Structure 1
Protein backbone atom coordinates (compact mmCIF):
# COMPACT_ATOMS: atom_id res chain seq x y z
CA UNK A 1 0.00 0.00 0.00
CA UNK A 2 1.08 3.54 -0.66
CA UNK A 3 0.22 6.50 1.56
CA UNK A 4 0.11 9.96 -0.02
CA UNK A 5 -1.28 12.95 1.84
CA UNK A 6 -2.87 10.73 4.47
CA UNK A 7 -4.72 8.69 1.84
CA UNK A 8 -4.08 4.96 1.63
CA UNK A 9 -3.78 3.75 -1.96
CA UNK A 10 -4.00 0.02 -2.64
CA UNK A 11 -1.99 -0.61 -5.77
CA UNK A 12 0.64 -2.82 -7.29
CA UNK A 13 2.90 -2.83 -10.30
CA UNK A 14 3.05 -6.11 -12.23
CA UNK A 15 5.08 -5.89 -15.42
CA UNK A 16 3.97 -2.93 -17.52
CA UNK A 17 0.68 -2.82 -15.61
CA UNK A 18 -0.38 -0.75 -12.61
CA UNK A 19 -3.30 -2.34 -10.81
CA UNK A 20 -5.13 -0.16 -8.30
CA UNK A 21 -8.15 -1.59 -6.48
CA UNK A 22 -9.40 -3.43 -9.55
CA UNK A 23 -8.48 -0.81 -12.17
CA UNK A 24 -5.86 -1.88 -14.72
CA UNK A 25 -3.53 0.69 -16.29
CA UNK A 26 -0.66 0.37 -18.74
CA UNK A 27 2.21 2.16 -17.03
CA UNK A 28 1.60 4.22 -13.92
CA UNK A 29 -1.88 5.35 -12.92
CA UNK A 30 -2.13 8.98 -14.00
CA UNK A 31 -3.33 11.76 -11.75
CA UNK A 32 -4.75 15.12 -12.70
CA UNK A 33 -4.13 15.91 -16.36
CA UNK A 34 -1.17 13.53 -16.70
CA UNK A 35 -1.16 11.13 -19.64
CA UNK A 36 -2.06 7.49 -19.12
CA UNK A 37 -4.05 4.52 -20.39
CA UNK A 38 -6.67 2.49 -18.55
CA UNK A 39 -7.88 -0.90 -19.78
CA UNK A 40 -11.58 -1.44 -19.05
CA UNK A 41 -14.18 -4.02 -20.06
CA UNK A 42 -15.46 -1.42 -22.56
CA UNK A 43 -12.14 -0.63 -24.20
CA UNK A 44 -8.83 1.21 -24.15
CA UNK A 45 -9.24 4.57 -22.45
CA UNK A 46 -6.62 7.24 -23.13
CA UNK A 47 -6.41 9.69 -20.26
CA UNK A 48 -4.80 13.08 -20.00
CA UNK A 49 -4.90 16.60 -21.25
CA UNK A 50 -3.98 15.96 -24.90
CA UNK A 51 -4.97 12.35 -25.49
CA UNK A 52 -8.42 11.70 -24.01
CA UNK A 53 -10.17 9.06 -26.15
CA UNK A 54 -11.85 5.64 -26.06
CA UNK A 55 -11.30 2.69 -28.40
CA UNK A 56 -13.98 0.01 -27.89
CA UNK A 57 -12.38 -3.44 -27.85
CA UNK A 58 -14.19 -4.48 -31.04
CA UNK A 59 -12.25 -1.69 -32.82
CA UNK A 60 -8.83 -2.59 -31.35
CA UNK A 61 -6.71 -4.93 -33.49
CA UNK A 62 -3.37 -4.59 -31.70
CA UNK A 63 -1.76 -3.10 -28.60
CA UNK A 64 2.01 -2.74 -28.52
CA UNK A 65 4.35 -0.95 -26.14
CA UNK A 66 7.38 0.90 -27.47
CA UNK A 67 10.32 2.56 -25.71
CA UNK A 68 9.92 0.35 -22.63
CA UNK A 69 12.81 1.25 -20.31
CA UNK A 70 14.80 -1.80 -19.28
CA UNK A 71 16.52 -2.17 -15.93
CA UNK A 72 20.25 -1.47 -15.87
CA UNK A 73 22.88 -0.80 -13.21
CA UNK A 74 22.78 2.91 -14.05
CA UNK A 75 18.99 2.96 -13.58
CA UNK A 76 19.31 1.23 -10.17
CA UNK A 77 21.50 4.09 -8.95
CA UNK A 78 18.71 6.57 -9.64
CA UNK A 79 15.78 4.59 -8.21
CA UNK A 80 15.00 6.95 -5.36
CA UNK A 81 15.21 10.05 -7.54
CA UNK A 82 13.03 8.42 -10.22
CA UNK A 83 10.47 7.32 -7.64
CA UNK A 84 10.21 10.83 -6.21
CA UNK A 85 9.77 12.27 -9.70
CA UNK A 86 7.16 9.65 -10.61
CA UNK A 87 5.10 10.67 -7.61
CA UNK A 88 5.33 14.32 -8.63
CA UNK A 89 7.26 15.29 -5.52
CA UNK A 90 10.38 16.54 -7.24
CA UNK A 91 11.18 19.54 -9.37
CA UNK A 92 12.03 19.90 -13.06
CA UNK A 93 12.33 16.51 -14.71
CA UNK A 94 9.41 14.21 -15.39
CA UNK A 95 9.26 10.45 -14.85
CA UNK A 96 10.21 8.36 -17.89
CA UNK A 97 7.53 7.56 -20.43
CA UNK A 98 6.83 4.82 -22.92
CA UNK A 99 4.43 4.62 -25.83
CA UNK A 100 1.36 2.42 -26.12
CA UNK A 101 0.39 2.02 -29.78
CA UNK A 102 -3.26 1.25 -30.51
CA UNK A 103 -3.97 -0.19 -33.96
CA UNK A 104 -7.65 0.08 -34.90
CA UNK A 105 -9.87 -1.95 -37.23
CA UNK A 106 -9.23 0.47 -40.12
CA UNK A 107 -5.47 -0.03 -39.77
CA UNK A 108 -4.91 3.38 -38.18
CA UNK A 109 -2.35 3.69 -35.42
CA UNK A 110 -2.44 6.03 -32.45
CA UNK A 111 0.53 6.47 -30.14
CA UNK A 112 -0.37 7.18 -26.51
CA UNK A 113 2.01 8.36 -23.82
CA UNK A 114 2.13 6.53 -20.50
CA UNK A 115 4.45 7.11 -17.56
CA UNK A 116 6.42 4.07 -16.50
CA UNK A 117 5.53 2.47 -13.20
CA UNK A 118 9.00 0.97 -12.60
CA UNK A 119 11.36 3.63 -11.34
CA UNK A 120 14.44 1.61 -12.31
CA UNK A 121 13.01 0.14 -15.52
CA UNK A 122 11.56 -3.27 -16.25
CA UNK A 123 13.29 -6.63 -16.54
CA UNK A 124 13.37 -8.13 -20.03
CA UNK A 125 11.23 -11.03 -18.82
CA UNK A 126 8.54 -8.76 -17.39
CA UNK A 127 8.57 -6.64 -20.53
CA UNK A 128 8.26 -9.68 -22.81
CA UNK A 129 5.48 -11.29 -20.73
CA UNK A 130 3.63 -7.95 -20.60
CA UNK A 131 3.89 -7.50 -24.38
CA UNK A 132 2.50 -11.01 -24.87
CA UNK A 133 -0.36 -10.24 -22.49
CA UNK A 134 -1.17 -6.97 -24.32
CA UNK A 135 -1.26 -8.91 -27.57
CA UNK A 136 -3.58 -11.56 -26.12
CA UNK A 137 -6.07 -8.92 -24.95
CA UNK A 138 -6.92 -8.21 -28.59
CA UNK A 139 -7.68 -11.85 -29.49
CA UNK A 140 -11.37 -11.73 -28.65
CA UNK A 141 -13.96 -10.84 -26.05
CA UNK A 142 -13.71 -14.07 -24.02
CA UNK A 143 -9.95 -13.77 -23.67
CA UNK A 144 -10.16 -10.08 -22.89
CA UNK A 145 -12.86 -10.24 -20.24
CA UNK A 146 -11.44 -13.30 -18.51
CA UNK A 147 -7.95 -11.80 -18.37
CA UNK A 148 -8.98 -8.29 -17.26
CA UNK A 149 -11.30 -9.80 -14.66
CA UNK A 150 -8.45 -11.95 -13.27
CA UNK A 151 -6.12 -8.94 -13.12
CA UNK A 152 -8.77 -6.73 -11.47
CA UNK A 153 -9.72 -9.40 -8.93
CA UNK A 154 -6.09 -9.87 -7.97
CA UNK A 155 -5.77 -6.08 -7.57
CA UNK A 156 -8.81 -5.88 -5.29
CA UNK A 157 -7.56 -8.76 -3.13
CA UNK A 158 -3.89 -7.77 -2.99
CA UNK A 159 -2.87 -5.46 -0.15
CA UNK A 160 0.89 -5.62 0.07
CA UNK A 161 2.08 -3.23 -2.66
CA UNK A 162 4.04 -4.51 -5.61
CA UNK A 163 5.16 -8.14 -5.26
CA UNK A 164 8.75 -9.27 -5.82
CA UNK A 165 10.09 -10.01 -9.30
CA UNK A 166 9.44 -13.77 -9.19
CA UNK A 167 5.82 -13.27 -8.13
CA UNK A 168 5.27 -10.57 -10.80
CA UNK A 169 6.55 -12.95 -13.48
CA UNK A 170 4.37 -15.76 -12.09
CA UNK A 171 1.29 -13.50 -12.22
CA UNK A 172 2.04 -12.40 -15.80
CA UNK A 173 2.45 -16.04 -16.87
CA UNK A 174 -0.81 -16.97 -15.14
CA UNK A 175 -2.72 -14.11 -16.78
CA UNK A 176 -1.24 -15.00 -20.16
CA UNK A 177 -2.39 -18.60 -19.64
CA UNK A 178 -5.81 -17.30 -18.58
CA UNK A 179 -5.88 -15.47 -21.90
CA UNK A 180 -5.19 -18.79 -23.64
CA UNK A 181 -8.09 -20.54 -21.91
Structure 2
Protein backbone atom coordinates (compact mmCIF):
# COMPACT_ATOMS: atom_id res chain seq x y z
CA UNK A 1 0.00 0.00 0.00
CA UNK A 2 1.00 3.58 -0.51
CA UNK A 3 -0.69 6.65 0.90
CA UNK A 4 -1.28 9.69 -1.31
CA UNK A 5 -3.51 12.43 0.09
CA UNK A 6 -6.68 10.83 1.46
CA UNK A 7 -6.06 7.66 -0.54
CA UNK A 8 -4.64 4.33 0.62
CA UNK A 9 -3.68 2.67 -2.65
CA UNK A 10 -3.15 -1.07 -3.00
CA UNK A 11 -2.54 -3.01 -6.20
CA UNK A 12 -6.24 -3.69 -6.75
CA UNK A 13 -8.22 -1.01 -4.88
CA UNK A 14 -8.12 2.54 -3.55
CA UNK A 15 -9.48 3.28 -0.08
CA UNK A 16 -10.61 6.68 1.15
CA UNK A 17 -8.65 6.73 4.39
CA UNK A 18 -7.00 3.62 5.78
CA UNK A 19 -7.90 0.18 4.51
CA UNK A 20 -10.43 -1.14 7.03
CA UNK A 21 -9.61 -4.35 8.87
CA UNK A 22 -12.18 -6.81 10.21
CA UNK A 23 -15.53 -5.14 10.80
CA UNK A 24 -14.16 -1.58 10.62
CA UNK A 25 -16.01 0.71 8.24
CA UNK A 26 -14.56 2.42 5.19
CA UNK A 27 -14.96 3.13 1.49
CA UNK A 28 -13.27 1.17 -1.29
CA UNK A 29 -12.96 2.53 -4.82
CA UNK A 30 -12.41 0.03 -7.62
CA UNK A 31 -12.50 0.31 -11.37
CA UNK A 32 -16.03 -1.13 -11.17
CA UNK A 33 -17.44 1.28 -8.61
CA UNK A 34 -17.71 2.42 -5.00
CA UNK A 35 -18.25 0.06 -2.09
CA UNK A 36 -18.95 0.84 1.56
CA UNK A 37 -17.41 -1.62 3.98
CA UNK A 38 -17.91 -2.63 7.58
CA UNK A 39 -20.63 -3.87 9.80
CA UNK A 40 -23.97 -2.46 8.69
CA UNK A 41 -22.58 -0.77 5.57
CA UNK A 42 -22.07 -3.17 2.64
CA UNK A 43 -23.43 -1.16 -0.31
CA UNK A 44 -22.07 -0.97 -3.87
CA UNK A 45 -22.63 1.47 -6.73
CA UNK A 46 -21.27 1.38 -10.27
CA UNK A 47 -19.47 4.58 -11.26
CA UNK A 48 -22.33 5.63 -13.53
CA UNK A 49 -24.62 5.59 -10.45
CA UNK A 50 -22.32 7.74 -8.29
CA UNK A 51 -23.14 11.44 -8.26
CA UNK A 52 -20.62 12.57 -5.66
CA UNK A 53 -18.11 11.58 -3.01
CA UNK A 54 -17.16 14.03 -0.28
CA UNK A 55 -15.35 13.91 3.04
CA UNK A 56 -16.06 15.69 6.28
CA UNK A 57 -14.77 15.90 9.83
CA UNK A 58 -11.11 15.74 8.73
CA UNK A 59 -8.39 17.07 10.98
CA UNK A 60 -6.46 19.46 8.70
CA UNK A 61 -3.46 21.64 9.53
CA UNK A 62 -0.72 23.54 7.76
CA UNK A 63 2.63 21.72 7.57
CA UNK A 64 4.00 23.64 10.57
CA UNK A 65 0.92 23.20 12.74
CA UNK A 66 0.75 19.50 11.80
CA UNK A 67 4.34 19.01 12.96
CA UNK A 68 3.67 20.80 16.26
CA UNK A 69 0.47 18.78 16.88
CA UNK A 70 2.25 15.50 16.22
CA UNK A 71 5.17 16.49 18.48
CA UNK A 72 2.80 17.35 21.34
CA UNK A 73 0.89 14.08 20.87
CA UNK A 74 4.16 12.13 20.93
CA UNK A 75 5.27 13.92 24.09
CA UNK A 76 1.96 13.14 25.83
CA UNK A 77 2.32 9.45 24.93
CA UNK A 78 5.94 9.44 26.11
CA UNK A 79 5.12 11.08 29.45
CA UNK A 80 1.80 9.39 30.23
CA UNK A 81 2.05 6.18 28.23
CA UNK A 82 -1.49 6.85 27.09
CA UNK A 83 -2.24 7.32 23.43
CA UNK A 84 -5.38 7.50 21.34
CA UNK A 85 -6.25 6.54 17.83
CA UNK A 86 -6.76 9.50 15.54
CA UNK A 87 -10.41 10.45 15.11
CA UNK A 88 -12.36 8.94 12.23
CA UNK A 89 -13.70 11.14 9.46
CA UNK A 90 -16.84 10.79 7.36
CA UNK A 91 -17.09 9.82 3.70
CA UNK A 92 -20.37 10.78 2.01
CA UNK A 93 -21.31 8.78 -1.10
CA UNK A 94 -24.15 10.26 -3.13
CA UNK A 95 -25.97 7.98 -5.54
CA UNK A 96 -29.46 8.38 -7.03
CA UNK A 97 -31.68 9.84 -4.29
CA UNK A 98 -29.54 8.66 -1.41
CA UNK A 99 -26.48 9.91 0.45
CA UNK A 100 -24.70 7.33 2.59
CA UNK A 101 -22.30 8.46 5.32
CA UNK A 102 -19.54 6.06 6.35
CA UNK A 103 -16.80 6.49 8.96
CA UNK A 104 -13.22 5.97 7.83
CA UNK A 105 -9.95 6.02 9.72
CA UNK A 106 -7.23 8.39 8.54
CA UNK A 107 -4.31 6.76 6.74
CA UNK A 108 -1.88 9.56 7.54
CA UNK A 109 0.36 9.40 10.58
CA UNK A 110 -1.20 11.18 13.53
CA UNK A 111 -4.52 11.53 11.69
CA UNK A 112 -3.74 15.10 10.60
CA UNK A 113 -3.86 15.90 6.88
CA UNK A 114 -2.14 18.79 5.15
CA UNK A 115 -4.60 21.35 3.78
CA UNK A 116 -3.26 21.16 0.22
CA UNK A 117 -3.52 17.36 0.14
CA UNK A 118 -7.07 17.50 1.50
CA UNK A 119 -8.12 20.05 -1.14
CA UNK A 120 -6.50 18.18 -4.03
CA UNK A 121 -7.94 14.86 -2.81
CA UNK A 122 -11.39 16.46 -2.82
CA UNK A 123 -10.91 17.48 -6.45
CA UNK A 124 -9.80 13.94 -7.32
CA UNK A 125 -12.94 12.54 -5.64
CA UNK A 126 -15.07 15.00 -7.64
CA UNK A 127 -13.39 13.95 -10.88
CA UNK A 128 -13.83 10.25 -10.07
CA UNK A 129 -17.54 10.80 -9.41
CA UNK A 130 -18.12 12.78 -12.61
CA UNK A 131 -16.06 10.48 -14.83
CA UNK A 132 -13.24 12.99 -15.39
CA UNK A 133 -10.72 10.62 -13.77
CA UNK A 134 -10.45 6.88 -13.29
CA UNK A 135 -9.46 4.72 -10.35
CA UNK A 136 -7.33 2.93 -12.94
CA UNK A 137 -5.02 5.97 -13.03
CA UNK A 138 -4.28 5.62 -9.31
CA UNK A 139 -3.92 1.85 -9.55
CA UNK A 140 -1.59 2.10 -12.56
CA UNK A 141 0.69 4.44 -10.62
CA UNK A 142 0.76 2.02 -7.65
CA UNK A 143 1.51 -1.01 -9.85
CA UNK A 144 4.45 0.83 -11.43
CA UNK A 145 6.11 1.41 -8.04
CA UNK A 146 9.01 -0.84 -7.07
CA UNK A 147 7.81 -0.96 -3.45
CA UNK A 148 4.73 -0.02 -1.49
CA UNK A 149 6.16 2.91 0.42
CA UNK A 150 4.42 6.25 0.67
CA UNK A 151 6.04 8.91 -1.51
CA UNK A 152 7.51 12.12 -0.12
CA UNK A 153 5.22 15.14 0.27
CA UNK A 154 6.31 16.84 -2.96
CA UNK A 155 5.65 13.70 -5.01
CA UNK A 156 2.27 13.15 -3.31
CA UNK A 157 1.21 16.69 -4.18
CA UNK A 158 2.42 16.28 -7.78
CA UNK A 159 0.44 13.05 -8.14
CA UNK A 160 -2.70 14.65 -6.70
CA UNK A 161 -2.32 17.60 -9.08
CA UNK A 162 -1.96 15.20 -12.01
CA UNK A 163 -5.00 13.14 -10.99
CA UNK A 164 -7.03 16.29 -10.30
CA UNK A 165 -6.27 17.66 -13.77
CA UNK A 166 -4.38 20.72 -12.50
TM-score range, shorter chain: 0.7 to 0.9
Q: What's the TM-score once normalised by structure 2's chain length?
A: 0.84
Match in the other structure for 2:125: 134
Match in the other structure for 1:98: 89
Q: How is 1:51-130 mapped onto 2 (pairs within 5 angstroms)?
A: 51-71=41-61, 72=66, 73-78=68-73, 93-106=84-97, 108-120=98-110, 121-130=112-121
Gaps in structure 2 of 5+ consecutive residues: none
Q: Deviations over 1:158-178 (max 9, x none)?
A: 21511111110000011112x
Match in the other structure for 1:169: 157
Say if 1:81 and 1:53 are closer, same or farther in 2 by CA, change over 3 A: farther
Once superposed, what is the RMSD of the aligned Cα atoms? 2.4
Match in the other structure for 1:152: 139
- Asked if residue 46 in structure 1 is aligned to residue 36 in structure 2, the reply is yes
Gaps in structure 1 of 5+ consecutive residues: 1-10, 83-90
- Count of aligned residue pairs for this structure pair: 156
Cα deviation for residue 93 of structure 1 reads: 4.3
Q: Deviations over 1:48-79 (max 9, x none)?
A: 11211112222211111101111332234336
Say if 1:67 and 1:152 are closer, same or farther in 2 by CA, change over 3 A: same
